[in-house]
Amino acid sequence: MNERMNETAAPPQSEDSYNFAYLDEQTKRMIRRALLKAVAIPGYQVPFSGREMPLPYGWGTGGIQLTAAILGENDVLKVIDQGADDTTNAVSIRRFFARTAAIKTTTRTQEASVIQTRHRIPETPLQHGQIMVFQVPIPEPLRFIEPSERETRAMHALEDYGVMHVKLYEDIAAFGHIATSYAYPVRVAGRYIMDPSPIPKFDNPKLHKSPALMLFGAGREKRIYAVPPYTEVESLDFEDHPFEIPRWESCCALCGSQESYLDEIVTDDEGGRLFLCSDTDYCETRQNAMNMTKGGA
């Protein structure tokens, strides 16, 4: 149990030369102002003058800058990558904040006040007061259809989203399905089309009217956007091809969950497959509960 909770960071080095949570106050204020605009215009991408961080672009610099700008001494931080707390990038980012901000960290979804994530939303329902920080590689949902920023900005301004519907419909014509399984576009509060970051579309419904505040940071592309709590977030679809989330025929081999998102593990070279929860905290909590029941019985 202890190894899951509040892992102690590597012995502090000479971090005193950096400000609390690494960023200087000027940069934090600039990000904070952008965040307030993002909340006021749900789903709209606010440009901000992102800084080089000591981690490479593409590895969560947007999320890290947002987390650094919002984090306070009393926050409890959880960091996940692919739903897991112990993936190397999650470990590295958690360590970064434990070291530069000396804050409490956790792997428990329920105990966290701020959750930085790459590619997943936890299975445990989020609560009012929690803040999710998403790492975003390409914030522009229209980018793969129209590479020019000048053009896509005009499309958003005019609410001209025809190309997106055409693209989704072409998928249906070619494959019989909308061929987007992650970073599935959503419409926020009936206005902006937004990239929910590369979460599997399985997680899209968790964005809709969530009690938590959702913040999105794209460091390399220098954009910030947000979804306030209790905001409508619909996944794009068509009447004859409604949005559906994938279901597994198997359940988690460790905790038996049939509701959670499962990772497929190749166990041998003869087609052996195993399915496990991608959300490690959710899975371990269920396993512990099962063990308790067994022990009690």
Partner 1 sequence: MRAQTSSLDGTGAFAPSGAATVHAAFARPVADAQQCFRAALAALSEPGIPALLAQAPLHAPEGLSPCLYALCLSLCDMETALWLSPRFSHPEIRVNLSFHCGCRFASAREEADFALMAAEELEDISGFSIGSERYPDRSCTILCAIPSLFGGPRMSWHGPGIENRRDAQLPIPEIFWRQRAEKNDFPRGIDVFFAAEDECALVGLPRTTRANHRIEEAR
Partner 2 sequence: MYVAVKGGEKAIDNAHRLLAKKRRGSLDQDEISSDQIAQQFPLAVARVMGEGSLYDEDLAALALKQAAGDVTEAIFLLRAYRATLPRFGESLPMDTGKMRLSRRISATYKDLPGGQLLGPTFDYTHRLLDFSLRGAAKDAPVAEREKTEPRPDEIPLEQTPASCPRVFDFLVQEDLASAEEAAEEKSAVPDITRVPLTLPACREERLQILARGDEGFLLALAYSTQRGYGRTHPFAGEIRIGRCEVWIAPEELGFPVLIGEIEVSECETVNQFSARQDEMPRFTRGYGLAFGYAERKAMSMALVDRALRAAEFGEEIVSPAQEEEFVLAHCDSVEASGFVSHLKLPHYVDFQSELDLLRKIRQGDMAEKEQKSVRANGGEV
- Kindly state whether residue 280 participates in binding partner 2, applying the rule CB under 8 A: yes
Task: Round to the nearest angstrom and report the end-to-end CA distance of the chain.
Answer: 21
Kindly tell me which of 90 and 155 has the beta carbon lying closer to partner 2. Answer: 90
- Kindly state whether residue 160 participates in binding partner 1, applying the rule CB under 8 A: no
- What 8-state DSSP symbol labels residue 159? T
Which residue is associated with the tokens 């790492």? 135
Is 255 assigned a catalytic role?
yes
Paired tokens of 58 = 């593409």
Instruction: Please report, as residue ranges, which positions from 216 to 275 form the binding site for partner 1 (by CB under 8 A).
Output: 227-232
- Kindly state whether residue 39 participates in binding partner 1, applying the rule CB under 8 A: yes
> What is the sign, positive or negative, of the torsion defined by CA atoms of 104, 106, 112, 115?
positive
- What 8-state DSSP symbol labels residue 238? B
Which residue is associated with the tokens 């904070």? 32
> Which residue, among 15, 183, 185, 208, has the nearest Cα to 95 in the 3D structure?
15
What distance in Å separates the CA atoms of residue 66 and residue 32, rounded to the nearest whole number?
8
Binding partner at 209 among partner 2, partner 1, none, C-beta below 5 to 8 Å by kind: partner 1
Contact between residue 181 and residue 35 where contact means Cβ atoms under 8 Å apart: no
Q: Of 213, 255, 276, 283, which one interacts with partner 1 (CB under 8 A)?
A: 213
Q: Which residues lie closer than 8 Å to 127 by C-beta, 6 or more apart?
A: 110, 211, 212
Enumerate the active-site residues: 43, 252, 255, 277, 283
* Residues at the contact surface with partner 1, assessed by CB under 8 A: 19-20, 25-26, 28-30, 32-42, 44, 46-47, 69-73, 153-154, 156-158, 189, 191-192, 209, 211, 213, 227-232
* Residues at the contact surface with partner 2, assessed by CB under 8 A: 7, 10, 18, 22, 24, 26, 47-49, 51-54, 56-59, 61, 81-83, 86-92, 95, 118-120, 137, 148-150, 175-177, 179, 181-183, 198-202, 220, 222, 246, 253-254, 261-265, 267, 274, 276, 278, 280
